[in-house]
Amino acid sequence: MINVTKTFLPPQEEYNSYVKRAWDKIWLTNRGELTIELEDKLKSFLNVSHLTITNNGTIPLQIALKLFGKGGEIITTPFSYVATSAAIVWENCTPVFTDIHPEYLTIDETKIEEAITSKTTAILATHVFGNPCHLNEIEKIAKKHNLKVIYDAAHCFGVKYNKQSVFNFGDVSTCSFHATKIFHTGEGGAMFCNNDEIHHQLYYSHNFGHNGPLAFHGLGINAKISELQSAMGLAVYPYLDHIFEERKKVVDFYNKNLDLNKIQVLKIRENTEWNYSYYPAVFDSEETLLKVTEALGKENITPRRYFYPSLNTIEYTKGQTMPVSESIASRVLCLPLYVGLSTEDLEKIVQIINSQIK
């Protein structure tokens, strides 16, 4: 079976050596030494000032929306994983969709202002497949209308824009450390910001609002990561360069060997150092996509319709028609991409796809 992704696992003995440290201290959660060590390593690697690791990648969105959404309207993208819209609705805010750019696949910044109303409190935009939104324009719009900016940067570990981490943009950026991601803790995530006061709010919000054991800064929830998860992150961390290099080889192979005259691939935004997180292939029609999927499936190759469906079509979002997003969502297929995908397997994948799009 060739799946769309495969979890990178470090040598088990290396993971076990970190677990033993937690075992020896009998400290499995509540920000033990492994969690603090991992945060320090990641801040250095990513060159960010404030980072709080969490138990998954969705709860940082919920915390940011709890702090800044204030039950208002959130301008957002219809082309993202369902967690983006679900978090908005879950926090009793209203998603207001703006269509996407047909090549970058991120929110179309030229359409944001027309969606702003007196009820708008924030913009929640997704850096799609690690491809940054138009950060400068979104910042200008937010400042003009006094709005907060939250970035769903779930796919963006290691991405740089204008030579700095994409996590340094917006009021809050979030990331996923799910097992399928480039860097992972099995299950986990993180939230980033550049502002001391916002960091303070995010930090206490992820730990029940605690101010020491007996007092509270304010409302909070349990978003803490365990030491067992942090142990996985520490074991994966030394292999990051290898992971990026191997994923780049897969992307380069697809770019060289797929018939790109008949497939649209992701246009990476200018001044971006991309992380090779996904390989979305956009076909000319949903019919072609289904034909390709069926042919790959016969060889036990499982790509993923990601993202599908367009989030404005989900019942609980009650969104208006978004023509570009709906069109892309019906035609996009993420191809297998992971460390250890052999040249033989890649040749098989490419041969099948090219044969179906003649």
Over range 233-237, report the average pLDDT: 98
Residue 99, SS3 per DSSP: coil
Domain stop point among 213, 238, 263: 238
Q: Residue 184 CA to chain centroid, in angstroms? A: 12
The residue length of the chain stands at 358
**Pairing of β 73-76 and β 120-126:** parallel
Could you read off the pLDDT of 134-148 as tens digits, one per residue?
999 999 999 999 999
Same domain, yes or no: 302 and 234: no
Same domain, yes or no: 150 and 12: yes
Contacts of 286 (CB under 8 A, 6+ apart): 330, 331
**CA-CA distance, 348 to 75, in Å (whole number)?**
42
Enclosing domain of residue 321? 240-356
Contacts of 45 (CB under 8 A, 6+ apart): 237, 240
Could you read off the pLDDT of 166-202 as tens digits, one per residue?
999 999 999 999 999 999 999 999 999 999 999 999 9
**CA-CA distance, 88 to 67, in Å (whole number)?**
12
**Other C-beta atoms lying within 10 Å of the C-beta of residue 183:** 23
Same domain, yes or no: 222 and 100: yes
For the cut 90, the answer to whether the pLDDT of residue 155 exceeds it is yes
Contacts of 38 (CB under 8 A, 6+ apart): 53, 185, 230, 233, 234, 237
Query: In this structure, what are the phi and psi dihedrals at residue 303, rounded to the nearest 5 degrees?
Result: -75, -175
Same domain, yes or no: 231 and 244: no
**CA-CA distance, 319 to 332, in Å (whole number)?**
21
Q: Describe the crossing of helices 286-297 and 343-356 by its angle, rounded to 10 degrees.
A: 140
Over range 327-347, report the average pLDDT: 98
Provide the residue type at 225 as one letter.
I
**CA-CA distance, 32 to 227, in Å (whole number)?**
6
**pLDDT confidence band for 318 (50 / 70 / 90):** confident
Contacts of 196 (CB under 8 A, 6+ apart): 50
Instruction: Quote the strand ranges of the chain, DSSP E.
Output: 2-3, 50-54, 73-76, 94-97, 120-126, 148-152, 160-161, 164-165, 172-176, 189-193, 264-265, 272-273, 280-282, 301-302, 332-334
Same domain, yes or no: 61 and 172: yes
Mean pLDDT of the chain: 97
Same domain, yes or no: 17 and 100: yes
Domain stop point among 238, 264, 293: 238
Q: Residue 288 CA to chain centroid, in angstroms? A: 27
Query: What is the pLDDT, as a whole number, of residue 358?
Result: 82
Could you read off the pLDDT of 5-47 as tens digits, one per residue?
999 999 999 999 999 999 999 999 999 999 999 999 999 999 9
Counting residues of the chain whose pLDDT is more than 90, the rounded percentage is 99
Domain containing residue 82: CATH number: 3.40.640.10
Could you read off the pLDDT of 112-123 as tens digits, one per residue?
999 999 999 999
For the cut 90, the answer to whether the pLDDT of residue 105 exceeds it is yes
Contacts of 210 (CB under 8 A, 6+ apart): 204, 216, 217, 220
Could you read off the pLDDT of 297-312 as tens digits, one per residue?
999 999 999 999 999 9
Same domain, yes or no: 145 and 284: no
**CA-CA distance, 158 to 61, in Å (whole number)?**
19
Are the CB atoms for 126 and 106 separated by under 8 Å? yes
Query: What is the pLDDT, as a whole number, of residue 341?
Result: 97
Domain stop point among 171, 205, 238: 238
**CA-CA distance, 308 to 80, in Å (whole number)?**
8
**pLDDT confidence band for 319 (50 / 70 / 90):** confident
Angle at alpha carbon of residue 160, lines to 159 and 161, rounded to 5°: 130
Over range 229-255, report the average pLDDT: 98
Could you read off the pLDDT of 36-82 as tens digits, one per residue?
999 999 999 999 999 999 999 999 999 999 999 999 999 999 999 99
What pairs with residue 54 in β-bridges? 189
Same domain, yes or no: 209 and 264: no
